Structure 1
Amino acid sequence: MKANVGTIDRTIRVVLGLGLIAATLMGAIGPWGWLGLVPLATGVFRFCPVYLPFGIRTCAVKR
């Protein structure tokens, strides 16, 4: 599992995931906010399986 999520992408995913989970815990958006676990996990692990078939990498390539 090679990292394919860059720093900016990672930051956006973590913030979005935490925001959705927080909104759910406050009762603002209902149980759908638990989907925030997906961007949170992909941000924490720096790997997005959806990027694989498309060959997308938002992180810098090490030479």
Structure 2
Amino acid sequence: MTVNVGTIDRILRACLGLALLYLAFISDLPLFEGDLFRYGAALVGVVMLLVAALRICPLYSLIGIRTCRI
């Protein structure tokens, strides 16, 4: 697979991933007290962090989008 995630996209995904992990495990918001939202947010947060780290988004590959210059 080729790199298809650019720098700004990586930063936004990393911030979103960290925010979702924070909301899932550290915040005391009532919405995230249930298992569905807690583990759903954690799963999406981990996926966002993985995509930001690897710079490869499978969904972008399927659609044909590239946000990087390379």
TM bucket, shorter chain: 0.7 to 0.9
Q: 1:1-63 alignment to 2 at 5 Å?
A: 1-26=1-26, 27-28=28-29, 29=32, 30-34=38-42, 35-61=44-70
Normalised by the length of structure 1, the TM-score is 0.85
* Aligned alpha-carbon RMSD (Å): 1.2
In 1, the alpha carbon distance for the partners of 2:62 and 2:41 equals 27
Structure 2 gap ranges (5+): 33-37
Normalised by the length of structure 2, the TM-score is 0.77
Which has a greater percent of helix?
2
- What percentage of aligned pairs have identical amino acids? 41
- Partner of 1:57: helix, strand, or coil? coil
In 2, the alpha carbon distance for the partners of 1:15 and 1:55 equals 24
In 1, the alpha carbon distance for the partners of 2:39 and 2:9 equals 25
Structure 1 gap ranges (5+): none
Off by >4 Å, runs of 4+ in structure 1? none
Equivalent position amino acid for 1:32 in 2: G
